């Protein structure tokens, strides 16, 4: 079954994890490559300005497939060296691809986002949750650890102490707690989730596309780079931005008191 259903809506792509009968569990063989292909296609398509990711059915993603773990199948099959490669080829390829997405990513978390599913949601630049959403990192309850980079990602989203609480206890947090902790940007009623996500994506897609991608790159680099390094990167990127037609359009639109029409040039 194809994992990601992709729908194009103008400059926005809507991606739906389409494995509702299994609560969008991951990964089946080939899921890593599916995410990589989708992200590479967006990175190469300058007409795409934002991606919205959600889950089909009642879950965003239940995370790792417990039956595959039990049966030592798929990414969890074989000896230790085989499982290591399974994580690298499937689980970690998913998160690497999403982290490398050049356009802003908005997650519309419609239900449980657990383990790998929670970390996929957390990789987004903007996270919008339904009131029915829940978040958890129950790796230790399964006798394993966050093999998807969650020990790096979760503290950056909620701080060390709260990440430690989620990881060490395995507790699930509801949408309101996730909002309080900074894990999501906002919480909306279930029937308003996709409208809010697409509205946000539309506001993002209305920005100058080259500057948008460069701003995301600066935000990502800023997590680990020094202030001086970011200033140097900014100077170089800003010089490129000043030479675009979109910059001229943006200035003209402000002076003429109208909405700019950015064309990605």
- CATH of residue 200's domain is 3.90.226.10
Q: Does 112 share its domain with 172?
A: yes
CATH code, domain with 240? 1.10.12
> What is the C-alpha to C-alpha distance for residues 182 and 157, in angstroms, rounded to an integer?
7
pLDDT score of 264: 83
Q: Does 121 share its domain with 143?
A: yes
* Pair 109, 184: CB distance under 8 Å: yes
Q: Which residues pair with 173 in a beta bridge?
A: 135
Q: Global pTM?
A: 0.92
Whether residue 117 lies inside any domain: the answer is yes
Whether residue 264 lies inside any domain: the answer is no
Q: Does 134 share its domain with 182?
A: yes
Whether residue 175 lies inside any domain: the answer is yes
Range of 29's domain? 4-205
Instruction: From residue 188, give the alpha-carbon distance in Å to each of 111, 184, 234.
Output: 12, 11, 35
Provide mean pLDDT across the span 81-88.
88
Q: How confident is the model at residue 236 (pLDDT cuts 50, 70, 90)?
A: very high
Give per-residue pLDDT as tens, 205-231: 999 999 999 999 999 999 889 999 999
Which residue, of 163, 187, 205, is where some domain finishes? Answer: 205
Q: How confident is the model at residue 186 (pLDDT cuts 50, 70, 90)?
A: very high
Whether residue 261 lies inside any domain: the answer is no
Which residue, of 190, 205, 220, is where some domain finishes? Answer: 205
CA angle centred on 10, ends 193 and 24, rounded to 5°: 45
Q: Does 149 share its domain with 217?
A: no
Q: How confident is the model at residue 65 (pLDDT cuts 50, 70, 90)?
A: confident
Instruction: From residue 201, give the alpha-carbon distance in Å to each of 107, 126, 207, 220.
Output: 10, 9, 10, 19
> What is the C-alpha to C-alpha distance for residues 59 and 103, in angstroms, rounded to an integer?
25
Q: Does 122 share its domain with 225?
A: no
Whether the per-residue pLDDT at 66 is higher than 70: the answer is yes
Whether residue 260 lies inside any domain: the answer is no
Q: Does 230 share its domain with 110?
A: no
Whether residue 159 lies inside any domain: the answer is yes
Q: b/e per residue, 66-90, with b = 16+ CB within 10 A?
A: eebeeeeebbbeeeeeeeeebbebb
Q: Does 77 share its domain with 140?
A: yes
* SS (HEC) of the chain: CCCEEEEEECCEEEEEECCHHHCCCECCCCHHHHHHHHHHHHHHCCCCCEEEEEECCCCCECCECHHHHHHCCHHHCCCHHHHHHHHHHHHHHHHHHHHCCCCCEEEEECCEEECHHHHHHHCCCEEEEECCCEEECCCHHHCCCCCCCHHHHHHHHHCHHHHHHHHHHCCEEEHHHHHHHCCCCEEECHHHHHHHHHHHHHHHHCCCHHHHHHHHHHHHHCCCCCHHHHHHHHHHHHHHHHCCHHHHHHHHHHHCCCCCCCCCC
Provide mean pLDDT across the span 92-96.
95
Q: Does 240 share its domain with 114?
A: no
pLDDT score of 218: 94
Q: Does 123 share its domain with 181?
A: yes
Q: How many distinct structural domains can be found in the chain?
A: 2
Whether residue 160 lies inside any domain: the answer is yes
Give per-residue pLDDT as tens, 32-63: 999 999 999 999 999 999 999 999 999 999 99
Provide mean pLDDT across the span 97-126.
97
Which residue, of 184, 205, 226, is where some domain finishes? Answer: 205
Q: Does 85 share its domain with 185?
A: yes
Q: Does 108 share its domain with 136?
A: yes
Q: Does 28 share its domain with 113?
A: yes
Whether residue 90 lies inside any domain: the answer is yes
């Amino acid at each position: 079954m194809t994992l990601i259903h992709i729908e194009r809506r103008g400059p926005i792509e809507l991606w739906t994890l389409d494995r509702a009968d299994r609560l969008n569990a991951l990964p089946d063989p080939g899921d890593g490559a599916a995410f990589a292909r989708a992200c590479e296609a967006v990175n190469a398509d300058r007409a795409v300005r934002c991606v919205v990711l959600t889950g089909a059915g009642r879950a965003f993603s239940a995370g790792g497939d417990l039956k595959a773990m039990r049966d030592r199948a798929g990414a969890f099959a074989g000896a230790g060296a085989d499982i290591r490669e399974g994580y690298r080829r499937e689980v970690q390829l998913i998160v690497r691809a999403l982290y490398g997405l050049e356009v802003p990513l908005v997650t519309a978390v419609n239900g449980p986002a657990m383990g790998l599913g929670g970390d996929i949601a957390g990789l987004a630049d903007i996270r919008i949750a339904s009131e029915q959403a829940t978040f958890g990192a129950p790796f230790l309850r399964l006798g394993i650890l966050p093999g998807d980079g969650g020990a790096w990602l979760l503290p950056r989203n909620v701080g060390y102490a709260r990440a430690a609480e989620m990881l060490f206890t395995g507790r699930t947090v509801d949408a309101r707690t996730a909002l309080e902790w900074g894990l999501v940007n906002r919480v909306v009623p279930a029937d308003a989730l996709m409208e809010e996500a697409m509205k946000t994506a539309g506001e993002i897609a209305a920005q100058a596309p080259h500057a948008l991608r460069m701003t995301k790159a600066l935000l990502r680099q800023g997590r680990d780079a020094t202030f001086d390094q970011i200033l140097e990167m900014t100077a170089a990127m800003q010089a490129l931005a000043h030479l675009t037609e979109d910059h001229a359009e943006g200035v003209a639109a402000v002076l003429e008191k109208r909405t700019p029409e950015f064309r990605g040039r």
